[in-house]
């Protein structure tokens, strides 16, 4: 007999032995069962549903929290979808996730930005107090300046590589002479 088979037989016999033990071996003081039952009632009927509802709510507002973090322009729509998801048992929750994680391309084409208006009026220090149109233009200028700096670095690197290639390889005229 293998080691695994011995373990199975040992488990079966120990289970049968425990079933054969009399109830007096598991006796509790009188009234202890009622005390345990009273505590379990409070736990099961009051605490567990409250904990379940709190967890359910916290999970269903995760798309809303992410949208607030990235200043999504459709934040109010995502909030409504999260609320409807709570009310209808999670039916709209995947839609809220998709909307929260999607890049608002059409919104940017229409309004020139992919951030919410609150981002330009409340959250961003460099835009605080500026009109939204001006803040959007300033943000685009800042992005273009960063892109231009990156392109200048790339141009300098290409020029450096080409100049090092020209100095390291001899020209055709010198090679034939």
Cα–Cα nearest to 155, from 166, 163, 144: 163
Residue 156 lies in a domain: yes
pLDDT on residue 54: 93
* pLDDT digit string, tens, across residues 14-39: 877 777 766 665 667 778 888 888 88
d(CA 67, CA 130): 23
What is the residue-averaged pLDDT of the chain? 80
* pLDDT digit string, tens, across residues 101-148: 887 776 766 666 667 666 666 655 555 566 666 777 777 788 889 899
Full residue range of the structural domain in which residue 127 is found: 104-165
User: Has residue 173 got a pLDDT over 70?
Assistant: no
pLDDT band at 50 (very low <50, low <70, confident <90, very high): very high
Whether residue 133 is found in the same domain as residue 78: no
Whether residue 75 is found in the same domain as residue 125: no
d(CA 43, CA 20): 32
End-of-domain residue from the set 80, 102, 124:
102
Whether residue 66 is found in the same domain as residue 82: yes
What percent of the chain lies above the pLDDT cut of 90? Answer: 19
pLDDT on residue 177: 47
Residue 94 lies in a domain: yes
pTM for the model: 0.47
Helix locations, 46-103, DSSP H: 48-60, 62-69, 75-87, 93-101
């Amino acid at each position: 007999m293998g080691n695994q088979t011995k373990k199975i037989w040992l488990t079966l016999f120990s289970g049968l032995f425990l079933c054969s033990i009399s109830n007096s071996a598991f006796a509790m003081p009188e009234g202890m069962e009622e005390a345990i039952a009273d505590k379990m009632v409070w736990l099961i009927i009051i605490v567990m549903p409250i904990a379940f509802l709190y967890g359910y709510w916290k999970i269903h507002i995760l798309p809303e929290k992410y949208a607030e973090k990235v200043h999504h322009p459709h934040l109010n729509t995502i909030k409504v979808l999260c609320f409807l998801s709570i009310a209808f048992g999670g039916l709209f929750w995947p839609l809220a996730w998709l909307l929260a994680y999607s890049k608002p391309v059409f919104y940017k084409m229409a309004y020139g930005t992919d951030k919410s208006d609150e981002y330009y009026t409340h959250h961003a220090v460099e835009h605080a107090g500026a009109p939204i149109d001006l803040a959007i233009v300033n943000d685009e200028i800042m992005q273009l300046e960063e892109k231009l700096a990156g392109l200048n670095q790339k141009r300098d690197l290409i020029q450096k590589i080409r100049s090092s290639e020209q100095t390291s390889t001899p020209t055709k005229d010198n090679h034939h002479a």
